[in-house]
Structure formats: C-alpha cells, structure tokens
Chains A and B, each alone.
Chain A
Amino acid sequence: MLVIKDLAVKFPSRFGDFTAIEDVDMVIRPGEIHGLVGESGAGKSTVGAAVIGLLSSPGYIAGGEISLGDTDLRTLTPSEAHAVRGDRISMIFQDPQTSLNPLMTIEDQLIETIQAHSDVTHAEALKRAVDLLEEIGIKDAAKRIKAYPHQFSGGMRQRVVIALAICTDPELIIADEPTTALDVAVQSQVLDLIKRLARDRDIAFMLITHDIGVIAQVADRVTVMRHGKVMESGETRQVLGAPEHPYTRALMDAVPPLDRRIDRFRVPEEAPIAGDGPTGNLAEDWLLEGQRSDLLGLKLTDLTVTFAAPRTSIFRKPDPYVALDNVSLTVRPGTIMGLVGESGSGKSTLAKAITGLVSPASGEMRLGDAELPYGKTRSRYHPSRQLIQMVFQDPYSSLNSRHRIGDILEEPLWFYGFVTERAERRRLAAAMLELVGMAPDAIDKYPHQFSGGQRQRIAVARALLARPRFLICDEPTSALDVSIQAEILNLLKDLQSTFGLTILFISHNLAVVRQMADDTAVLRAGRIEEVSSTENLYENPQADYTRSLLSLTPVMPKDWVARGS
C-alpha cells in the first residue's frame, strides 16, 4: 500500500526555489488503479517521479512522507532505493518507441531485468519471460521473444514494456500516460490489460493521464491536481460524475462528450470574442468586406496519393506506398466537414494534397468551380493559395520563433496585397488579435512568450488575415489541454458562423469532431470508410470500423452524471 502525506517537491533555481508540488496526499491500496489527472504543469509526473525516486535534478523532496508497505521510501540509502525500484515499484512510460532498447532482443531485455532482481538461472528466467509474455497477451511468445522491439507494433511494444514492469512482481506500478501515444483500439487493449493485472496480481497502479475518458474507464479512485496541489480526490464515479471542487467541475465541462453535441463549451473565464470594442470591429468589418466571393465548397474525386517506397532491389522499382486510395469527398459550402481516422490513416496527407504540399498521383480536386492544380504545378500566384488557409497541429512549430507576432500576422496582409500601408497593416493585425481573444499588445512579443493555447489563437489570426474562404484545421487542439481546447473550439465555431467559412476539421478525437462538424468522414488506411451527417454517423454508424472506433473510445458512463445539465 502506497501512502503519500503532505508531499512537497521543490526545484531550486537562480530565482529561489520553485515549488512543483505541495501538500499532496494519496493512498493507493493493492489492486487499486488510482488515476492522477490534471492539465500540463499540474505536477502529475512529479508525484510519480518522487515516489520512484527519479526526480530530475536538481529537484528534491522538501517535505512529507512516502511509504510503501512499512518501508519509508524517503529514508532509503541510494542502494536500497535502487533495490526497491524495479523490485517493488516499476514504471511504464508514455512512449514505447523509446523505453525499449532497440539493439537488444525482447528476450535479452526481459531476462536481464529478471536476473537483476532475483537469483535464477538463465533457463528459469527465460521460462518466466515467456510465461509473462503469454500472460499479457502476446501469442506464440516462445518464438516472438527472439524479436527486436522494431519488429513489434506500437501496442505490442507497450505490452512488452508492461511485461518488463511486472516481471519482478512489483507492488506498485507508476504508469505515466501509458496510452497517450496509442490509437484507440490499441489503447483499449492496453487498458484492459492494466485492469486485469490490477485484479489478478493485486498490483497497485498510479495511472497518470490527462485523458478523463481513460480515467473513467479504468480508475477506481482519482486525484485531480492543478498547479502542484490536489484539488479533489475520491472515488472515480463521484469525482467525475458529481465533482465538488469548482476546478473539477470546470474541467468536466470542458471535456467534449461523445454522445451528444453541445453548441458552446462553458469555459471558466469567457474570453471576449468578436466585436468587442472598436478595434475588434475593425478586423470583423475587414473580414466581412472581404467576402466578395460566395461560400466555397471543396470536391475531391478519386484522389490517390502515393509515396515512393524504399528500394529493396536494384533491378526493380519498388511498388509505391499508397497513402490515399481513390478518396472522394464533398465539403458543402459553409459547413464543417470532420475527418477522423487513426494515425497513419492519411488524414494529414489529404490536407497536404489540398494545400499543394503533396502531389497526388491521380484524381481531381475542385475548390468551388475552379480546379486545383497538383502540388508543384500549382503556381505561386494561384488564387487558392489565399483562399485556402490552414491551422496546424503544433502551435509550437507553426509560428516562426524568431519573428515577432506583428511580423507573423502582417505577412499575409502584404503578401496577398490586401493592405499596402504599413501602419494600416499593424492596426489590422492588432485588431485581429483582439478578434481572436488576445490583447493587442501581443504584437511586439515573440511566440515563446505565449502558452500553447494563445499561440493557437495567433495561428488562427494569421489564417484569418489571409481572408480565407476555406480553412483546414489539422488536429488544431490535440496538443492542448482540455480547457484550452474548449476555448479554441468555441473560437472556431464563432468565426465559422460569423464569416461563413468552409472548414475541413481533421482530428483523431471522435468526441471533438462530434462537437464541431456538420458532416463527418471516417478515413482508414487511405480509404474513406463512411461519410454521413455527423448526427447520423455517431448515432447510426454503418461501417464496422466506425462502430468499433465509437465503442472503443473511452468515455464516462452516462449514468454517472448526477446533475441535470
């Protein structure tokens, strides 16, 4: 049983000690899965690192108690701590790509770990390793154990990581975002495995995640953290269904539900958006005046994109890799088309084909009445370069970190020749910042001075300053915390209805797409599985694949919600 009392962790810095977490209390019983949720910077991972004794230097435990069973983890000598680590406490990391050694076979890694913690012969260790792999659901384990990590898929690799974690029969496993890098189908298998291990082997799990759905699905108890402090703790059903703390309530409000559509998310401090003050109006008027053309739709017919595969023979050209296979899709003018699919399904390739970053092999793309030329044949002055704009996934890489916000925002204005006068451009850029809910004085700052959500707002402002008629949002919120995600989704909805944009909204998150899209298309391995109106697709899925996606997405059971909303 893990008991944490009044735990505080500090990081000394030049400007005095920074308190990462304080007053953290937690009890995890054997066989219990204890969820630890919170947004980035909440200190979730710091709790885990403090327990396992791997706080990154120069952090240190400033106070409190951590004990596992009757062992006080804080008083251990380094060598004793080393023995406890792995033997009684194990850890599962987020990325199975990097937590296995790529140069060692699975067999070697498992046997090494087993022999490090118990005095057994090689043959015995091997037998235990094979049994373990069988237990966690790897078929034909005696043979597969000879393989290297790269010969396993992502989900299989995460299973191997779990096997490594349990091969010493630990009492406690700390799982830090164990399924964040995985697709929903694989995620649900890994979650099932964690659940089974907790039940069968009586292992206590500390499950660190930002995903409320995952918590709802597997955790027995949950602790909500924010800014290094515990906000609320209790049984999962009670905390998520009837939260008591205002922060938990706000957090739950921001989580997009899969089973219904809500028009606007309730966000704690409703940011003033659109038409607030004279300068915001300036940007709004300017955008409305730009609506010379009517609403624009997009029609893709039999679009196929292939990539050259690596050459395996000098005599024969390799068969190309087909990223998109005869994709036909119609985005109706003035609507939002949602595009969902797992990683590698070709979502981003589709966006790149439309924007001209990738040349299709065949097929036709039409924006309104005009045909879109393929990638490199599209001239730099083609009108679509202005009409189609994109909001990217990663707000940390989509803004040039060496340019001021003002320069970034003014670029489309002079580039497309909208405003020739410099002072006027600046005024409009500042007004646009206000329109997307930011202070106009941001114009003189650099991107690194803003948070992820603020940067995404800036990215939206840049897209709007091109006066687009068609906006592609490629996973615009997947790098953001849920409360920020709710704000950005609200903003996009407002802008879409005010300025009559047509939007292609790409996401792997089905719940988010349900909130945003009028129509939804499901993409799988480069093929469209199903297209339909969003309501219809979620309520009455036709394709088996859509059905399995919907059923595997972790959500909170409906009957948990105690309040009438």
Chain B
Amino acid sequence: MVDWLKRREGVWLFVHSPAAIVAAIVALAIILGAVFAPWIAQVDPYDLSSFSLFDGLLPPVWEDGANPKYLLGTDDQGRDMISSILYGARLSLVIGISALTIAAVLGVGLGLAAGFYGGRFDAVVMRIADVQLALPAILTALLIDGIARGVLPASVQADLRVAVLTLAIALSLWVNFARTARASTFVQMQKEYVQAAIMMGQRPVRIMFVHILPNILGPLLVIMTVDLASAILLEATLSFLGIGLPADSPSLGTLIRIGMQFLLSGEWWILWIPTLFLVALVVSINILGDFLRDVFNPRLR
C-alpha cells in the first residue's frame, strides 16, 4: 500500500470512522462469502441435480410456509436464494475486478504516457477518451457482443460470455484512469525530481513507472475503489438487460432480472433479496472509496 496508508494516519482515521468500519465489514463479508461460495453454499446453482423443482418458490423463514432449510427462500426453479446470491456475487466480483484491472492497466499506461509526452500523443489519446465517454457502456457492450457473435464460432460463444462482458466494462472504465493519471502526471512533471531524472537521461519508461507512478498512486487507488462499484453495477445493468450473463450461470444482475417476473405475483423475495445485496455491496465499496479519498486528500477533511 502507499506508504502503509500514510504511516498509520489512515489506520487512526479508520478506527475513528464508524461508517468506514461498517462498510469494510459488509464488503469483506460479501467478498469472503463469494470467494468461499463452493464451501458455504448448500446448493450449487449451476448443477441441476443439486436442487429440485418441488422446493420452488419457498418464502424466507420468517414468512408462512417456509422451509427452515432455505433461510432466504428459493426461486421458481427451487434454487436456494443464499446459494444463488453467493455464486452470483462471485461472478459479479470476478467480472468487476478483472474489468477493473484491464481498465486500470490500459488507462494508467495511456494516461501516464499522455502526461509525460504531452503534445500530439496526448491530444490523440484524450480525443479517443472523449469518444469513449460519449458512448454509453451498454452501446460498447452491444458492439463488442455483436463483433464477438460475428467473428467467433458459435461453439465458443457461450464460454466467452464472461470475457466479452469483462472487455465491454473495461472499455467503458479506462477513461477515468487515463484522465486522472494524466492530470496527476502533469503535476509531477513540474517537480524537480522528474526533471532531474530526465536530465540524467533515464529511459522514459523508467521515469514513468519507477519515478512518477508511485507518486500518483493515491488518487488512482481512490478511483479504483469507486470504479469497482461502478464495474459491478455495470455488469448488473448489462445482465439485467439481457446483454450479460444467461440465466443458467446467474450473476447478481441476472438474478434481479429473473426476480422481476415475480414482482407482481407475491414472491417478492426473489427480486428484493438480490437487489438489497447488490445495493449493500456497492454502497459499502463506495463508502470505502470516499474514506480513502479523505485519507489521501487531507484538505477535504
């Protein structure tokens, strides 16, 4: 971490911020649950033999007619809600984190280079970024999805759903990283330690990654947390709209889409429980992001 979060200053702030503690506990619980889903969940929602239609549409335990085996009830296929959610969150997080990683590498690399070289290269990169910003994420996803369907043989398409979705999300998030990295690099370029490195004749790649990058990590870390929440939401949106993951390997967004059909028929839990879960995850990550920003930017405190 960046100087161990400013030499324990951050730890002190954290201990004295109830919101951050609650957010961290919630986020950590969800992430651990998702990581260890295969061991925690009593049912594997991808394995048709592990659940039965006879258990379908059972309400949560505090409602009448519930089966205590299924704490939060089941959906129409008889899948345990908890298990579905844990597996769904697992997929959401995998997609969110890989998309974020791709976006960060691409965005930070381009932003650093744009800030370092300036001039024409900077102009080109930033105009591409502008174009990217003008395209809604859904459009980008549809575009990539369309290309994938056209180019790839049908046999591999199903297996590549996750990759296509990840790429689409990454493409709509890299701009944030590029802009932040570029602006921070401009500031660092004025610092004399960078001028000293240039004067020595060090290679541009070394100056960018060894000298400048560690100094702009603070704002990037903040963007990373906030954008992780965006990535998860984006995945949920795309899956909800049906561009994302299919019903047989449900992410949180897919679960919510399935739940929509039961909104008016009394089985509220199928929609509301995954939704609340998604909200809890995204809000807690956002609170952590705000907290990190306060740590790195003492003026806002």
Contact = CB atoms under 8 A, between A and B. Distances in A.
A522 B190 CA distance: 26
Given A356-B199, A392-B192, A446-B3, 11 more contacts: A355-B199, A380-B202, A380-B203, A381-B201, A392-B195, A398-B193, A398-B196, A402-B3, A402-B215, A403-B214, A412-B200
A366 to B, nearest CB: 18
A48 to B, nearest CB: 23
Interface string B190-210: 011101101111110000000
User: Interface SS of chain B: helix, strand, loop or mixed?
Assistant: helix
Interface string A353-375: 00111000000000000000000
Contact of A357 (B2, B12, B195, B202): B195
B218 to A, nearest CB: 10
Nearest to A379: B201
Contacts of B211: 400, 403
A390 interface: yes
Contacts of A381: 201
A382 interface: yes
Interface string B76-101: 00000000000000000000000000
A14 B12 contact: yes
A392 B200 contact: no
Contacts of A388: 199
11 contacts: A380-B203, A385-B200, A385-B201, A388-B199, A390-B196, A397-B191, A398-B192, A402-B2, A402-B217, A403-B211, A411-B200
Contacts of A379: 201
A14 to B, nearest CB: 7
B199 A357 contact: yes
Contacts of A390: 196, 199
A381 B200 CA distance: 9
Contacts of A357: 195, 198-199
Interface string A390-415: 10111001111111000000011001
Nearest to A389: B199
A163 interface: no
Contact of A466 (B200, B202, B214): B200
Nearest to B212: A400
Contacts of A399: 193
A379 B198 CA distance: 11
Contacts of A392: 192, 195-196
A446 B203 CA distance: 24
Contact of A400 (B193, B199, B217): B193
Interface residues of B, number: 18
* Interface hub of A381, A392, A393, A397 (most chain B Cβ within 10 A): A397
Interface residues of A, number: 27
A446 B215 CA distance: 13
Interface in B168-201: 191-193, 195-196, 198-201
A391 to B, nearest CB: 10
Nearest to B196: A398
Contacts of B199: 355-357, 385, 388, 390
B193 A397 contact: yes
Interface in B202-252: 202-203, 211, 214-215, 217
Q: Which 3 pairs across A and B sit closest by C-beta, in order of nearness? A: A402-B214, A380-B201, A398-B192
A78 B192 CA distance: 44
A400 B215 contact: yes
Nearest to A354: B199
Interface string A328-369: 000000000000000000000000000111000000000000
A356 to B, nearest CB: 7
A470 to B, nearest CB: 12
B203 to A, nearest CB: 7
Contact of B200 (A398, A402, A415, A446): A415
Contacts of B201: 379-382, 385, 415
B200 A401 contact: no
Contacts of B202: 380, 415
Contacts of B196: 390, 392, 398, 462
A394 B198 contact: no
B269 to A, nearest CB: 47
B3 A394 contact: no
A397 B198 CA distance: 14
Nearest to A378: B201
Contacts of B12: 14
Contacts of A402: 2-3, 214-215, 217
A388 B2 CA distance: 33
A382 B12 CA distance: 49
Contacts of A403: 211, 214
Nearest to B16: A14
B116 to A, nearest CB: 14
B100 to A, nearest CB: 23
Contacts of B3: 402, 446
Nearest to B211: A400
* Interface hub of B12, B195, B214 (most chain A Cβ within 10 A): B195
A100 to B, nearest CB: 22
A141 to B, nearest CB: 38
A324 to B, nearest CB: 18
Nearest to B193: A400
Contacts of A385: 199-201
* Interface hub of B196, B198, B199 (most chain A Cβ within 10 A): B196
Nearest to B199: A355
A278 to B, nearest CB: 29
A458 to B, nearest CB: 11
Nearest to A411: B200
Contacts of B191: 397-398
Contacts of A380: 201-203
A118 B172 CA distance: 58
A184 B177 CA distance: 45
Interface in A408-443: 411-412, 415
